[in-house]
Amino acid sequence: MRYVDEFRDANLARTLSTQIAAVAEPGRHYKVMEVCGGHTHTIYKHGIEDHLPETIELVHGPGCPVCVIPMGRVDDGISIARRPGVIFTCFGDMMRVPGGDGSLLDAKAQGADVRFVYSPLDALKVARLNPEREVVFYAIGFETTAPSTALTLMRAKAEGLTNFSVMCNHVTIVPPLKALLESPDLRLDAFIGPGHVSTVIGCRPYEFIPADYGQPVVVAGFEPLDLLQAVYMIMLQLAEGRSEIENQYGRVVPWEGNLRALEVLQEVFELRPYFEWRGLGFISQSALKLSDAYRDFDAELRFDVPGVRVADPKACQCGEVLKGVIKPWECKVFGTACTPETPIGTCMVSSEGACAAYYNFGRFARSTARAGS
């Protein structure tokens, strides 16, 4: 396959749908978690669930990096952004994530110099152009985006830039998966493994899931046929009594990952003892911080941040959505008080958030189904 249309062929989708239904055990309910928020958007945008038997339920996981940031970390960023002489930079969707004291966009409206960038290298350019100002980059993302932050820090160190620093919120994918598997709230049959993260870390880190928990993992791409094929591969494993890791996204994901990117991560970062995740609480060794060799670029050491833990609004159920315990539409404020224009929780903000995905795509299909029933 060479062109995107080939990954969206309706006839092939119907064939895969028939094959999935054929291997599903009658009377058995299957619960499969798609870990990545990009997968969630594909599922809703292209109506993947309509191609599956009703006995196969897809649930959302904590694979949206913006969504898992707790409110206290947002407030820490805002406290730095409000300091005189600071230019605070971040990705665009992070601007609207609500903290306990508003959002970065609110801080900007109140006079803070907050700018969105497309890459950490853009933030480094801002630092070069403003040598008299402190420039901070608010780094977020899983192992997918961490290498770009690492390479930016390596360049900043090589250039001797002293007015650039990073507030590191990079998280890792394996610890939250372990936390979900140990959770009494959720019983899963299999995982659709994240595609983007796996381009960096490969497939080997997921070996504990079939080995220790007896559940299949299929790393998948992001087109409709990618996901349908991944579901079929999972169903085939379950029907044959197998529990293995399979790589559906082999055209992009190497089994061992990107070795050069992993080397860079090891040089620039080290694991935090623990980190708070929205909805999952504190998880040990689940996030990255700057290593001793790069501590001079650590914004949390350069600036005094509050570090206060802030509880989510009582009406917000982002935590339950991120754990796959409830669907977005089951949240009490979904689509009413909480919309992409007026988000209460992070899942409604990010382009990878499950609530935003359902609000933009899935709710129409659901409304049509209710009207026709």
* Inter-CA distances, 243 with 16, 91, 98, 209, 237, Å: 21, 38, 40, 9, 6
**Which tokens in the block code for residue 343?**
């988000």
In a 10 Å sphere around its CB, with 0-12 CB exposed, 13-18 middle and 19+ buried, how is residue 94 labelled? Answer: buried
Whole-number Å distance between alpha carbons of 311 and 255:
39
Find the angle CA(322)-CA(170)-CA(196) to the nearest 5 degrees.
70
Q: What is the pLDDT along the chain (373 residues), one digit of tens a residue?
A: 567 788 989 999 999 999 999 999 999 999 999 999 999 999 999 999 999 999 999 999 998 888 899 999 999 999 999 999 999 999 998 999 999 889 999 999 999 999 999 999 999 999 999 999 999 999 999 999 999 999 999 999 999 999 999 999 999 999 999 999 998 878 899 999 999 999 999 999 999 999 999 999 999 999 999 999 999 999 999 999 999 999 999 999 999 999 999 999 999 999 999 999 987 889 999 999 999 999 999 999 999 898 888 888 888 888 889 888 888 989 999 999 999 888 888 899 887 888 998 888 866 555 444 344 4
User: Which token pair is 127?
Assistant: 């630092």
User: How many other C-beta atoms can be found within 10 angstroms of the C-beta atom of residue 255?
Assistant: 12
Asked if 346 and 94 touch (Cβ cutoff 8 Å), the reply is no
Domains within the chain, CATH numbers bracketed? 71-171+287-302 (3.40.50.11740)
> 282: which 2 tokens?
């504190």
At 99 the three-state DSSP class reads strand
CB 66 within 8 A of CB 350: yes
Burial class (CB in 10 A: 0-12, 13-18, 19+), 148: middle
Give CA separation, 43 vs 37, 55, 60, 251, 253, in Å: 10, 16, 10, 20, 20
- Longest Cα–Cα distance of the chain, Å, equals 68
Q: Listing from the earlier edge strand, what are the strands of the sheet with 86-90?
A: 113-116, 86-90, 134-141, 164-170
CA distance 83 to 136: 11
Q: Around 151, how many Cα atoms within 13 Å sit in the side-chain half-sphere? A: 12
pTM for the model:
0.91
